Structure 1
């Protein structure tokens, strides 16, 4: 018996067929290629059908895949149309928000306070997710607003820049005193970068890695995709004296006396955060929340 397919699986399948290659579709969906390939393989296994023929130059549909393509496109169009139609009647309810690590401490409280004043019946559900996971959830209809480190491409999502932070560096206190303030990126040579997994935010990781390399720093091996960044681990890693970590000036975690935040000379690294939401959304509480986030940057 064929089980029901998830909307995200249909979107993934259609994206692969339309892109022609797994790698191109993965970039468009902001997913890692192995994760996308696993999604398609799992779908084929569950249906008991081969949907795609993989070749050295790309993919093409089988007869079953061609049938699914037409049906999936129709289902997705109807799904998106239904969400848009319902959204026109929705001013209150549940606002599902994706949240990354290390937001400015006042960003969400100020936006939520304004939302509560305008729409007191709206309940907010926050989920800590990577940028890639948030974009996938937005496209699957599982989030209403995301706060991401890289602006997603495509006309299906709208975005506005809400935060631009001049990133500094966390160092062991004795090392920070030795290097002075502000510290030059070049002076971090020989230390290990406490990095995050590229799969969670590829564009931001690549931008950051390119800046480090341009200053003669070794970015080291990529962090495994399954290894989540735990903010609390930054402190012991830096405290040992052989590593550094990047953090914004309003880092929302307490620092011990043995660790210092130091600005970077020339402010070479700027971390941006975008508010992202479905372009077809007509929810007024979403619009109010996004406007509050945008006004935070203006202030």
Structure 2
């Protein structure tokens, strides 16, 4: 096998893109059809790539092809390289005009229901030629899969751990907590003060106990010396929770910032319930060692400005 420096000089980007297409489509014939080139050309390029590396990349069978252990490793790097190249082209375009370009953002459902739309609304008004691509996921997946594979340029949401990973930079935006919410015509919204104990036997729509918000809710009840109520409906989806709250029969817990930015749109109201002050940080995570694009800098600056009203608050908004 050749040494790394000589291999890098001999491998062509076209070979890598063809290799990725073959793996994604599971056969050389399907990849050839997708790329609009002949199957013999595909076979020749894959054979040349394997010869250059001195390693088998694909296992052939009657059912098609699958990557070997070496192929899996090359696939991951090839996708990251393709994403980096695309980001590089975007950066060159943005240097000519910093108000255009593309930004790939990973976020969580609660942030996508409140804070993120507020950021995007202002950003798009100021820079209407920016193109934003949003991917939804959970914080660990967004960081460990999408960010490290360069599928996204940044992640905005709950920070996955108290200590940032060594290869990431973190910009904290605000400290988040949960609030009790109800539909606008729920009888409880007429009360000026409510104890959490009064709500234990109400009809609750709550996320699963094993989820992060489910664990936070359980801790909130335990901190008030109460048993966690048995939910009438258990569902993680905020969209589903919002729909049930609109029926005026259910109560739920939702992030305070989501209600700060979207309570009117979602037709719900925060109940005046004293909650234990348990906070967790919401922030932006980027990878170290990557040149920040102008679009990324514009987004982070806008996010800091939008989050400023809540950044210093240590108790939920009411």
Report whether the alignment pairs 1:4 with 2:23: yes
Q: Partner residue of 1:293?
A: 303
Contact 2:118 2:261 in 1 (8 A): no
CA apart distance, 1:94 = 1.6
- Distance in 2 separating the partners of 1:142 and 1:74: 12
Report whether the alignment pairs 1:154 with 2:165: yes
Q: Which ranges of structure 1 fall in alignment gaps of 5 or more residues? A: 7-44, 50-63
Q: Which has the higher contact order (CA 8 A, sep 6+)?
A: 1
Q: Partner residue of 1:123?
A: 131
**Alpha-carbon spacing, 1:147–1:71, altered in 2? closer, same or farther (3 Å):** closer
Q: Tell me the alpha carbon deviations over residues 59-91 of structure 1, each in whole angstroms, 9 at most, x when there is no partner.
A: xxxxx64x5676567657856875776676453
Q: Partner residue of 2:286?
A: 277
Contact 1:188 1:217 in 2 (8 A): no
Q: Tell me the alpha carbon deviations over residues 25-71 of structure 1, each in whole angstroms, 9 at most, x when there is no partner.
A: xxxxxxxxxxxxxxxxxxxx98668xxxxxxxxxxxxxx64x56765
TM-score normalised to structure 2 length: 0.55
**Alpha-carbon spacing, 1:247–1:109, altered in 2? closer, same or farther (3 Å):** same
- Distance in 2 separating the partners of 1:236 and 1:109: 25
- Distance in 2 separating the partners of 1:284 and 1:96: 13
TM-score normalised to structure 1 length: 0.57
Q: Which ranges of structure 2 fall in alignment gaps of 5 or more residues? A: 1-18, 26-62, 95-99, 310-318
Larger Rg: 2
Contact 2:182 2:252 in 1 (8 A): yes
Q: Partner residue of 2:101?
A: 93
Question: How is 1:1-299 mapped onto 2 (pairs within 5 angstroms)?
Answer: 3-4=22-23, 65=69, 67=70, 71=74, 89=92, 91=94, 92-99=100-107, 100-101=109-110, 102-104=113-115, 106-114=118-126, 116=127, 121-132=129-140, 134-135=142-143, 136-151=145-160, 153-171=164-182, 173-177=186-190, 180-196=191-207, 202-215=211-224, 216-218=226-228, 220=230, 223=234, 228-230=237-239, 231-236=241-246, 239-240=248-249, 243-248=251-256, 249-250=259-260, 252-254=262-264, 260-265=269-274, 268-270=277-279, 272-279=281-288, 280-299=290-309
**Alpha-carbon spacing, 1:84–1:154, altered in 2? closer, same or farther (3 Å):** farther
**Alpha-carbon spacing, 1:263–1:161, altered in 2? closer, same or farther (3 Å):** farther
**Alpha-carbon spacing, 1:223–1:75, altered in 2? closer, same or farther (3 Å):** farther
